[in-house]
Protein backbone atom coordinates (compact mmCIF):
# COMPACT_ATOMS: atom_id res chain seq x y z
CA UNK A 1 0.00 0.00 0.00
CA UNK A 2 1.86 3.04 -1.28
CA UNK A 3 -0.89 5.48 -2.27
CA UNK A 4 -3.86 6.08 0.01
CA UNK A 5 -6.77 8.50 -0.41
CA UNK A 6 -8.87 9.28 2.65
CA UNK A 7 -12.45 10.49 2.19
CA UNK A 8 -15.23 11.07 4.71
CA UNK A 9 -18.96 11.35 4.90
CA UNK A 10 -18.59 14.60 6.86
CA UNK A 11 -16.08 17.16 8.06
CA UNK A 12 -14.40 16.39 11.39
CA UNK A 13 -14.42 12.66 10.84
CA UNK A 14 -10.65 12.57 11.31
CA UNK A 15 -9.30 12.55 7.72
CA UNK A 16 -6.38 14.82 8.50
CA UNK A 17 -5.50 13.15 11.79
CA UNK A 18 -5.62 9.68 10.24
CA UNK A 19 -3.82 10.88 7.13
CA UNK A 20 -0.90 12.33 9.05
CA UNK A 21 -0.58 9.25 11.27
CA UNK A 22 -0.79 6.91 8.28
CA UNK A 23 1.76 8.94 6.30
CA UNK A 24 4.21 8.69 9.22
CA UNK A 25 3.71 4.93 9.44
CA UNK A 26 4.09 4.45 5.70
CA UNK A 27 6.95 6.96 5.45
CA UNK A 28 4.98 8.71 2.73
CA UNK A 29 4.28 12.39 2.00
CA UNK A 30 0.99 13.72 3.39
CA UNK A 31 -1.09 15.92 1.06
CA UNK A 32 -3.97 17.98 2.39
CA UNK A 33 -6.09 19.02 -0.59
CA UNK A 34 -7.78 21.84 1.34
CA UNK A 35 -4.39 23.56 1.57
CA UNK A 36 -3.97 23.31 -2.20
CA UNK A 37 -7.51 24.48 -2.94
CA UNK A 38 -7.89 27.45 -0.56
CA UNK A 39 -5.78 30.49 -1.36
CA UNK A 40 -5.60 33.77 0.57
CA UNK A 41 -8.97 35.32 1.46
CA UNK A 42 -10.58 31.88 1.00
CA UNK A 43 -10.23 32.18 -2.77
CA UNK A 44 -10.58 28.73 -4.27
CA UNK A 45 -8.54 27.24 -7.07
CA UNK A 46 -10.29 26.57 -10.33
CA UNK A 47 -10.56 22.90 -11.30
CA UNK A 48 -7.69 23.42 -13.76
CA UNK A 49 -5.47 25.13 -11.15
CA UNK A 50 -6.16 22.45 -8.57
CA UNK A 51 -5.43 19.68 -11.07
CA UNK A 52 -2.08 21.33 -11.94
CA UNK A 53 -1.20 21.43 -8.23
CA UNK A 54 -2.33 17.89 -7.45
CA UNK A 55 -1.13 15.86 -10.46
CA UNK A 56 2.62 16.11 -9.77
CA UNK A 57 2.03 15.06 -6.15
CA UNK A 58 -0.02 11.98 -7.00
CA UNK A 59 2.43 10.99 -9.74
CA UNK A 60 4.85 10.20 -6.91
CA UNK A 61 5.28 6.55 -5.88
CA UNK A 62 4.05 7.07 -2.29
CA UNK A 63 1.50 9.40 -0.72
CA UNK A 64 -1.43 9.78 1.62
CA UNK A 65 -4.02 12.30 0.41
CA UNK A 66 -6.62 13.90 2.66
CA UNK A 67 -9.72 14.38 0.49
CA UNK A 68 -10.57 13.88 -3.13
CA UNK A 69 -12.25 17.12 -4.33
CA UNK A 70 -14.34 15.07 -6.74
CA UNK A 71 -16.33 18.17 -7.69
CA UNK A 72 -13.15 19.65 -9.18
CA UNK A 73 -10.91 16.67 -9.86
CA UNK A 74 -13.38 13.91 -10.64
CA UNK A 75 -11.88 10.56 -9.66
CA UNK A 76 -8.28 11.62 -10.35
CA UNK A 77 -7.04 10.99 -6.80
CA UNK A 78 -9.16 7.89 -6.20
CA UNK A 79 -8.09 6.25 -9.47
CA UNK A 80 -4.42 6.64 -8.58
CA UNK A 81 -4.83 5.30 -5.05
CA UNK A 82 -3.94 1.75 -4.05
CA UNK A 83 -6.55 2.09 -1.33
CA UNK A 84 -9.43 4.44 -0.53
CA UNK A 85 -10.26 4.78 3.15
CA UNK A 86 -13.80 6.01 3.79
CA UNK A 87 -14.44 7.44 7.26
CA UNK A 88 -18.18 7.03 7.71
CA UNK A 89 -18.77 8.16 11.28
CA UNK A 90 -22.21 8.86 12.74
CA UNK A 91 -23.46 12.40 13.27
CA UNK A 92 -23.15 12.14 17.05
CA UNK A 93 -19.38 11.72 16.61
CA UNK A 94 -18.48 14.28 13.95
CA UNK A 95 -20.93 17.11 14.75
CA UNK A 96 -19.65 17.84 18.28
CA UNK A 97 -16.08 17.60 16.92
CA UNK A 98 -16.91 20.14 14.21
CA UNK A 99 -18.41 22.58 16.73
CA UNK A 100 -15.49 22.19 19.19
CA UNK A 101 -12.83 22.43 16.51
CA UNK A 102 -14.35 25.48 14.85
CA UNK A 103 -14.87 27.31 18.16
CA UNK A 104 -11.32 26.45 19.21
CA UNK A 105 -9.88 27.78 15.97
CA UNK A 106 -11.91 30.99 16.31
CA UNK A 107 -10.79 31.57 19.90
CA UNK A 108 -7.12 30.80 19.13
CA UNK A 109 -7.26 32.73 15.81
CA UNK A 110 -5.62 29.66 14.29
CA UNK A 111 -4.48 29.98 10.69
CA UNK A 112 -5.70 27.21 8.44
CA UNK A 113 -4.20 27.68 4.99
CA UNK A 114 -2.64 30.66 3.29
CA UNK A 115 -3.56 33.17 5.99
CA UNK A 116 -7.20 32.06 6.28
CA UNK A 117 -8.88 31.93 9.67
CA UNK A 118 -12.30 30.74 10.67
CA UNK A 119 -14.75 33.12 12.29
CA UNK A 120 -18.01 32.45 14.07
CA UNK A 121 -19.77 33.78 10.97
CA UNK A 122 -17.98 31.70 8.32
CA UNK A 123 -17.84 28.63 10.55
CA UNK A 124 -21.49 28.50 11.52
CA UNK A 125 -23.76 31.06 9.90
CA UNK A 126 -22.57 32.02 6.42
CA UNK A 127 -24.38 30.46 3.49
CA UNK A 128 -21.29 28.38 2.69
CA UNK A 129 -20.27 27.75 6.33
CA UNK A 130 -18.55 24.52 7.21
CA UNK A 131 -21.43 23.54 9.50
CA UNK A 132 -24.05 24.04 6.79
CA UNK A 133 -21.86 22.29 4.24
CA UNK A 134 -21.35 19.28 6.51
CA UNK A 135 -25.03 18.97 7.39
CA UNK A 136 -26.07 19.34 3.74
CA UNK A 137 -23.56 16.91 2.23
CA UNK A 138 -23.54 14.19 4.91
CA UNK A 139 -26.80 12.46 3.88
CA UNK A 140 -25.89 12.76 0.18
CA UNK A 141 -22.45 11.25 0.66
CA UNK A 142 -23.72 8.38 2.80
CA UNK A 143 -26.22 7.56 0.08
CA UNK A 144 -23.85 8.05 -2.88
CA UNK A 145 -20.52 6.72 -1.60
CA UNK A 146 -21.39 3.01 -1.48
CA UNK A 147 -22.00 3.14 -5.24
CA UNK A 148 -19.40 5.78 -6.14
CA UNK A 149 -16.58 4.11 -4.23
CA UNK A 150 -17.44 0.47 -5.00
CA UNK A 151 -15.05 0.27 -7.95
CA UNK A 152 -12.02 1.23 -5.84
CA UNK A 153 -10.10 -0.86 -3.30
CA UNK A 154 -11.98 0.36 -0.24
CA UNK A 155 -11.91 0.24 3.54
CA UNK A 156 -14.98 1.70 5.25
CA UNK A 157 -14.48 2.63 8.89
CA UNK A 158 -17.57 3.52 10.93
CA UNK A 159 -16.30 4.37 14.41
CA UNK A 160 -13.25 5.86 16.12
CA UNK A 161 -12.49 2.37 17.48
CA UNK A 162 -12.51 0.90 13.95
CA UNK A 163 -10.19 3.68 12.79
CA UNK A 164 -7.74 3.02 15.64
CA UNK A 165 -7.81 -0.74 15.07
CA UNK A 166 -7.27 -0.34 11.33
CA UNK A 167 -4.36 2.06 11.82
CA UNK A 168 -2.79 -0.36 14.29
CA UNK A 169 -3.18 -3.22 11.81
CA UNK A 170 -1.56 -1.13 9.06
CA UNK A 171 1.39 -0.36 11.30
CA UNK A 172 1.77 -4.06 12.11
CA UNK A 173 1.46 -5.10 8.45
CA UNK A 174 3.98 -2.46 7.33
CA UNK A 175 6.49 -3.59 9.97
CA UNK A 176 6.10 -7.18 8.79
CA UNK A 177 6.47 -6.11 5.16
CA UNK A 178 9.61 -4.17 6.09
CA UNK A 179 11.07 -7.23 7.81
CA UNK A 180 10.36 -9.38 4.77
CA UNK A 181 11.95 -6.81 2.46
CA UNK A 182 14.99 -6.51 4.70
CA UNK A 183 15.31 -10.28 4.79
CA UNK A 184 14.92 -10.57 1.01
CA UNK A 185 17.57 -7.92 0.41
CA UNK A 186 19.96 -9.66 2.77
CA UNK A 187 20.06 -12.86 0.74
Distance CA 160, CA 89 (A): 8
Distance CA 177, CA 171 (A): 10
Distance CA 21, CA 19 (A): 6
CB burial of 138-149 (b: ≥16 within 10 Å; e: otherwise) equals beebeeebeebb
Interval 144-186: pLDDT, tens: 999 999 999 999 999 999 999 999 999 766 654 543 333 333 3
Dihedral over Cα of 45, 48, 51, 53: its sign: negative
Interval 102-142: pLDDT, tens: 999 999 999 999 999 999 999 999 998 999 999 999 999 99
Q: Residue 164: what pLDDT? A: 96
Amino acid sequence: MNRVAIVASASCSGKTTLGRALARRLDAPFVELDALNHGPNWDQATPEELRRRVEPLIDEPRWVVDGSYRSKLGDLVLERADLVVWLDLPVHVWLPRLVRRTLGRVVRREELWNGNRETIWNGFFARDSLLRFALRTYPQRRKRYPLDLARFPLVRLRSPAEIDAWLTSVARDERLAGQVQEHDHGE
